[in-house]
Structure 1
Amino acid sequence: MTTEGVVAAPISPVEPVVRSRGGRFEFLDALRGLAALAVVIQHVSERLWPAYFRFSQAHFGLGEFGVFVFFLVSGFIIPASLERGRSLGAFWVGRFFRLFPLFWACLIAAMLLHSINRFGLPAGFLANPVVSFMANLTMMQFFIGGGEIQVIGASWSLSYELAFYLILSLLLIGGLNRRSVPLAVLALLLIIPGAALPTMLLNGPDSNIATRSIVLAATIVIAAVFAYLAADRRTALAAILIAAIAVPLILNQPGASVLTFGYFATMFVGTVLYRMTSGEITIRRGWSVFLFAICLIFGVSLCVQPTLDSFTGVWITWVKQPTTIIPAYLLFAAALLLRRYSFPRPLLFLGRISYSLYLVHVLILDAPRWTTPVLGIPAPWLTLFTWVLGALLIASATYRFIEKPCQDFGRRMIAKIDAR
């Protein structure tokens, strides 16, 4: 797809009081670092302590907490990246070199580790490895086949990130990208009816001609609407292509639909807070949407029927979602209010390597464990420290030798596109 003709209008400058270092907002890097560390500790701890895993499933999911922080950060910063006056094509070039090279490197590493019995692959992947691997290369594997085919377990959230980019691209083409408040409110309100939306409408166990017809109709309608709103023929074709990719994938989501709408709504809430910070909307409107989101999350959670988790054997009630999601919102709000202050450098470093850390830590969860205490330190705690330290070291290396060089190459490509 080439959409160099799509150029976003310049945005209002973000407040000069936002503390930045090296062109990066410190409060966002601090949030990224905390979110990545939360996900790592969740995954390591649930491997080492089954009792903790049961607690996290029923009461507070530290990893899910981290993911919601990531979604708020993406909702805040991605519109700024998309609307900085560059073309839509330049935006996607930057996103490609930001995300895919490291992700592909981790996929290859996972295959190599699996060959020496140091990384487990899901049964769905092993049933059809070639097709499943190709699906994983797209980073949309979660919408294609669900968790049963994805190699990097934590990468399900990346599928939602890419879907969010596609949605924003459509909104930009249609000139609706700055309608962040109504979009956020709409996404939040769709959480309630979204609970009734069936999963995997295209290739799920309950998919049929009727469900596929619904997907086809929705795709045609959305493609036609945004093609009509497009400024010229080239952007209209881009809208049709994006809709043809995004709509079927999103409607094929394999998880609970209420969560899918919740993820997208969270990202749009992050966008509203960005509009507020940049002065595009009033402070009252920004925080009103934020409070509405918290109230809605709590209210919807009260309606959740208890379900038995087949893996841990614990009952999941209404308690977990508000105790997990609302603290993520409050942490983001606190960091936003402190955006004019400096944050500790170790936390900023964690933020810089957060994407590497988020991906590579999964590769060490089948590493050897300590079996005996050392200096009175129990073996599980030794394993936790070893795995977390190992993940930090590997992430530092992948950031230095894979992630950052590819980002720099992407910036050079964007400069060429901008020059054209």
Structure 2
Amino acid sequence: MTAAPDPAAPGRISLGVHGARGLLAFGVLVYHVVNSGLPSWGLPPLVEEGLRSLKYGVEIFFAISGYVMARSMQRARSPGRFLLNRATRIFPVLWTAVLVVVLLSLISQSRAPAALDPASLVLLTLANLMALPGVFDLPLFLPPAWTLSFEFAFYLLCFAYLALRQRWPGIGWALPLVVVGAVFALHHPRALFFMCGLLVGSGRLPGGPVTAALSRAPGLMLLVFLGVWQAAALPAAPFFEPVWSWSEPRLFVLAALAFAAATLSLNGIAAGQGWFAARFLQSRAMIWLGTISYSLYLWHPVVLAIVKAAMREAGLPAMLGDWSQLVFFGIAAPISLLLGHLSQVWLERRLTERLRRGMTAPPRVPPYARETVVK
């Protein structure tokens, strides 16, 4: 998942897409609460599967990233500037969160990374700081950060396209790079959803009355995507495996339906179609959640782990029984939202601004050098 730009800035993404980030990030938090292992009331199977499907909001994050990058590349000042903007937006929060996880592990001495030998700890910490686990089979210190590995692979393809187009403008570089991206997606099927966003963001989504009609119900299309993708994943999770390893024909059909539903949902959200996109996702609460979505997404597992450990240490699950999960949510969600807000203000916004100023400011000329030039 990418950090959210200011939705009010000129040329930025639509408010509906911005609000969708917030809804999806909060949905991932709910998913982790539901799967916390704490006692809870028995839920109807359909409701339980619906809540479990919230983890696939990550695919819509990828779609939104594709949409944003399609628009960002159109206004990028240069390939280097494009990559710099992405790096300075992503790394401050990632680095801080990874180092906090390493520090907490070393203090508690409960599990990895504290269990690693010093050399492995240093090397794997650097790998996690560079968002390598995910694309590469390496230990992951911060669970949700695997998505950033996919994000950076996508950014590098976008950077390559901009750089090659700038160097050799007469050659159509889009097709070969799309082929490279498609091969990557076949190996990592969840990355396929970047293509949804590229189709919508570049205006290449085929039109027609069916596309227009289904795009007018983006909320329904989002539910269809979650339902179909969850149904395809039962009882296993094939979407973490290469496409050529899929053994059931139904997976290809369901994957195609899920891709279509995700694309139509994003198309309707971006255009502000219907109450869901025009009113709900653009409400003040959703816009705020969208603004803190990246920080919320990365920090909430840390908060959940600390709160759950504290509850177990205090013996609360035994005392609360089936209320444990609800109390867990009631404690952890506000803390996660507050930490997400603080991280967005101090790391995403203020630190990012300082990094960009420091990297792009013209070099200072010492007084004696100015005098020499004048003479």
Alignment of 1:5-404 (within 5 A): 21-23=8-10, 24=12, 25-49=14-38, 61-117=52-108, 120-121=111-112, 128-146=120-138, 149-175=139-165, 258=186, 260-263=188-191, 265-276=192-203, 283-284=207-208, 287=211, 307=236, 328-338=262-272, 341=278, 343-367=282-306, 368-369=310-311, 370-371=316-317, 378-404=323-349
Distance in 2 (CA, whole Å) between partners of 1:296 and 1:392 is 26
Distance 1:180 1:45, change over 3 A: farther
Q: 2: distance between equivalents of 1:323 and 1:43?
A: 26
* CA spacing shift, 1:132–1:121, aligned 2, 3 Å: same
Distance 1:120 1:324 in 2: 37
Indicate how the Cα distance of structure 1 residues 328 and 272 shifts in structure 2: closer, same or farther if over 3 A, else same.
closer
Question: Could you say if the C-alpha distance between residues 326 and 405 of structure 1 is closer, same or farther in structure 2, counting changes exceeding 3 Å?
Answer: same
User: 1:332: how far off?
Assistant: 2.3
> Does the CA contact (< 8 Å) of 1:90 and 1:414 recur in 2?
no
Q: Distance in 2 between matches of 1:299 and 1:382?
A: 31
Do the aligned partners of residues 48 and 387 (structure 1) sit closer, same or farther apart at CA in structure 2, a change above 3 Å counting? farther
Q: Give how far 1:325 is off.
A: 6.5
- Contact 1:31 1:332 (8 Å CA) reproduced: no
User: CA–CA distance in 1 between the matches of 2:292 and 2:299?
Assistant: 11
Change (3 A) 1:282 1:332: closer
Q: How far 1:101 moved relative to its partner?
A: 1.1
Unaligned runs of 5+ in 1: 1-18, 195-249, 251-256, 310-315
Is the Cα–Cα contact under 8 Å of residues 43 and 63 in structure 1 kept in the other structure?
A: no
Q: Secondary structure of 1:36's partner?
A: helix
Q: What do the CA deviations read for 1:34-60 (whole angstroms, capped 9, x no partner)?
A: 1111111111221145888x9999777
- CA distance in structure 2 between the partners assigned to 1:323 and 1:123 by the alignment: 43
For residues 134 and 344 of structure 2, the distance between their equivalents in structure 1, rounded to whole angstroms, comes to 25
CA pair 330-82 structure 1, distance change in 2 beyond 3 A:
closer
Amino acid at match of 1:152: L
2:22–2:288: 8 Å Cα contact kept in structure 1? Answer: yes
Question: Is the Cα contact below 8 Å between 2:105 and 2:114 reproduced in 1?
Answer: no
Q: CA deviation at 1:381?
A: 0.3
1: CA distance, partners of 2:69 / 2:359:
16
Percent sequence identity is 22
**What TM-score, normalized to structure 1?**
0.61
In structure 2, the residue matched to 1:201 is none
Distance, in Å, in 1 between the alignment partners of 2:261 and 2:116 is 35
Query: What's the C-alpha RMSD, in Å, of the aligned pairs?
Result: 4.8
**Contact 2:89 2:352 (8 Å CA) reproduced:** yes
Q: Is the alpha carbon distance of 1:286 and 1:81 closer, same or farther for their aligned partners in structure 2, counting shifts above 3 Å?
A: farther
How many residue pairs get aligned? The number is 317
Report the alpha carbon displacement of residue 64 of structure 1 after superposing the two structures with TM.
3.3
The one-letter amino acid of 2:63's match is: L
